[in-house]
Amino acid sequence: MQTALKLPKPSGIGAVMSQLVDGAPAFARGGDDFDYCSDAKSYTAVLLDDQNQPIGALIADLVAAVYLGGNFMMAPEDALAEQVKSKQAGDATIMAFSEIANIITTSFNALDGNPHVRSCPATDTAKVLATELGSWMKAPGKRTDVVADFPWGKGRLILVSR
């Protein structure tokens, strides 16, 4: 039987972000009104335990994925704005966001009693939901949303566990 994955607090996510992205905005707990199972654009990095079983996920809406991934790789601001405008993050931006997700796993791994987790590369959430790896995300056991103000509006990271 899997150990339930505890979710880090917004302050823990914010502390990691401030070390990774220069000028990262402050994250605060947000409502769970963003439906990542709908057609809203988002990107997901599934979290696996040491038995390679999906135990959690980190989901970023388009704005958060573009800002965090793009700034991590120091992409020009106008190129990032274009990705948000076109409603499609670039491949390099998503790869960089994958690295952010991997580093965020330290916030999960630092919590007493949590199993060790690592992240899969981020990909379009709709694709993840259609697989066995992510089908459980349609009804997660726990969910925490953290929001921040980005140059193109509010962005959101969603932490879920089975």
Asked whether the predicted pLDDT for residue 37 surpasses 70, the reply is: yes
Asked whether the predicted pLDDT for residue 120 surpasses 90, the reply is: yes
Residue-range definition of the domain harbouring residue 93: 10-20+27-161
Q: Is residue 147 part of a domain?
A: yes
Q: State the residue for tokens 């509010």.
A: 154
Which pLDDT belongs to residue 74? 92
Asked whether the predicted pLDDT for residue 151 surpasses 90, the reply is: no
Q: Is residue 2 part of a domain?
A: no
Which pLDDT belongs to residue 105? 94
Q: Is residue 106 part of a domain?
A: yes
Q: Is residue 4 part of a domain?
A: no
Compare 1 and 80 and report the one with higher pLDDT.
80
pTM for this structure? 0.92
Question: Of 105, 28, 40, 95, which Cα lies nearest the Cα of 68?
Answer: 95
Compare 157 and 11 and report the one with higher pLDDT.
157
Backbone angles phi, psi at 50, to 5 degrees: -70, -10
What span, in angstroms and rounded, lies between the C-alpha atoms of 81 and 136? 32
Asked whether the predicted pLDDT for residue 22 surpasses 80, the reply is: no
Q: State the residue for tokens 């990774």.
A: 20
Q: Is residue 3 part of a domain?
A: no
Tell me how many domains the chain contains.
Answer: 1
- In this predicted structure, which of 10-14, 61-65, 98-102, 145-149 has the lowest mean pLDDT? 10-14
Q: What is the CATH number of the domain that holds 41?
A: 3.40.1550
Q: Is residue 134 part of a domain?
A: yes
Q: Is residue 91 part of a domain?
A: yes
DSSP the chain: -PPPPPPPPHHHHHHHHHHHSTTPPPPEEE-S---TTTTS-EEEEEEE-TTS-EEEEEEEEHHHHHHHHHHHTT--HHHHHHHHHHT---HHHHHHHHHHHHHHHHHHHTSTTPPP-EEPPPEEHHHHHTSTTTGGGGS-SEEEEEEEEETTEEEEEEEEE-
- In this predicted structure, which of 2-16, 99-113, 114-128, 132-146 has the lowest mean pLDDT? 2-16
* Beta partners for residue 159, in sequence order: 58, 144
